[in-house]
Amino acid sequence: MASDQQYISTRGGGEPLSFSETLIEGLARDGGLAVPASMPHVATETLERWRALTYPQLATEVLALFAGDIPREDLARMTDAAYAPFPAEVVPLRQIGDGLTLVGLSEGPTLAFKDMAMQFLGQVLEYALERSGSVLNVLGATSGDTGSAAEHALRGKDRIAVFMLSPRGRMSAFQRAQMFSLDDANVHNIAVDGVFDDCQNLVKRLAGDVEFKRAHNLGAVNSINLARITAQVVYYFWAWLRATDAGGATEVSFTVPSGNFGNILSGFYAKRMGLPIRRLVLATNENNVLDEFFRTGVYRPRTAAETLATSSPSMDISKASNLERFIFELVDRDPARVNTAWHELDAQGFFDFTAEQPRFADEFGLVSGTSTHADRIETIRSVHAGTGEIIDPHTADGVKVAREHVEPGVPMLVLETAKPQKFADMIREALGVELEYAPELQAMLDAPQHVTDMADDADALRAYIAAAALRGATVGHSPVGADRHES
């Protein structure tokens, strides 16, 4: 049974919106993020009924709790289509030693966990736009995997154009090829002179420009889009159902490599919905602003110059957008306190929740840790030596931190981030092996690349989007672009 769930802003402005309205809106008009007006609850007996479901069927059940304005049969059709490109099991679980189980989230088209939500988002965005007769110009920022997952989910769609910002020179060669090799007319890749946080700030500046946003039908597919968060909730339920025995309420812990706080926020929502989760273990790399926050209660993002380029580049983020959704729950859903925290962040470069810090672990189950390049190398080597598995550097960050938080009798599940082929240089350094690529992947790596270089300049980005944006009158026609072509 679908819910009548409504969505409100973390900053208290605007009227409640439906699920479909929220996913098209992206960033709330008051600059906040959309959150459920009330968190749905899943009873133990319901969990038990879900054990026999396939992944698309489970996704339909979980998403129906959030997408109350979408008929169940339409939702089921979209989840079937979203996960058709995946293997039959969709999310396999496998043991990797030291009491850890890897949750295989990288079986999708772009070999990264972002496909799990993005494939559904592509389906539901198109559905909502067709129902409303409108178009959407998606503006996003990526540190590596979001961009390719979004572009592969949205390429060729008549009612959607994609403008994806990435930090120039900060992604792996494979990540660049997955994005820049696409030549679909509705896909625009823009390499910004800066780091991911600069790209993310540009997205927020344009999303906060209400006049420009409305004039150009601007939306988002980054994890500020709540459809991404809700679709990711599904695999926490899936993993719990496969890691526990029927008839019990066994607690498990999850370790999540995290940069923008979206993936682990989905686990936080699953726990709030009643899933028996003991610990949510956040793993960071050297850009460990989130680890510092969860250990101390002080959130102090770094500047672009202070943000390091690491060997787990998708986590090279200093300002995590989705943390605002956690802060909203931390302050008992008081928008005034959320606004105060962000005003303090703007004014002094940090905000301080040291008084509430004990609640992070005690009430919410959130703990954290940091991994370094040396840790990644050692972890990739030890997992390979023990099991023959090759894991990517971000997953290695997760495994390293997970080992520090294993508790007797509590299964520890580590969320996989990507296939190791996306980070061949790192695997070569760790194991001294050359990874093989399927013919279609090698062809992608060898293909011409299409990308536009741009300064960190909001006005230049506005002008580019204004020239290339899809408009209602041009549905079914190619938007005009000005991409630079490189071989």
Amino acid identity of residue 300, one-letter, is R
Amino acid identity of residue 452, one-letter, is T
Q: How far apart are CA 75 and CA 53, in angstroms?
A: 15
Q: Whole-angstrom distance between the N-terminal and C-terminal Cα of the chain?
A: 52
3-state secondary structure 372-389: CHHHHHHHHHHHHHHHCC
Query: Where does residue 476 rank: exposed (0-12), middle (13-18), buried (19+ CB within 10 A)?
Result: exposed
Q: Is 294 helix (H, G, I), strand (E, B) or coil?
A: helix
Residue at token pair 């380029």? 309
3-state secondary structure 51-119: HHCCHHHHHHHHHHCCCCCCCHHHHHHHHHHHHCCCCCCCCCEEECCCCEEEECCCCCCCCECHHHHHH
Annotated active-site residue in 114, 204, 213, 400: 114
Q: How far apart are CA 40 and CA 270, in angstroms?
A: 9
3-state secondary structure 386-454: HHCCCCCHHHHHHHHHHHCCCECCECEEEECCECHHHHHHHHHHHHCCCCCCCHHHHHHHHCCEEEEEE
Helices 114-132 and 145-154, interaxial angle, to 10°? 40
Residues 6+ apart with CB under 8 A from 391: 96, 102, 379, 380, 383, 384, 399, 416, 420
Q: Is 483 helix (H, G, I), strand (E, B) or coil?
A: coil
DSSP string, 4-23: ---EEETT--S--B-HHHHH
Reply yes or no on whether 114 is catalytic.
Answer: yes
Q: Is 236 helix (H, G, I), strand (E, B) or coil?
A: helix
Q: Which parts of 100-203 are beta strand (E)?
A: 100-103, 136-141, 160-167, 187-192
Q: How far apart are CA 61 and CA 416, in angstroms?
A: 23
Six-digit token pair at 147?
């961009």
Instruction: Give the catalytic positions in this structure.
Output: 114
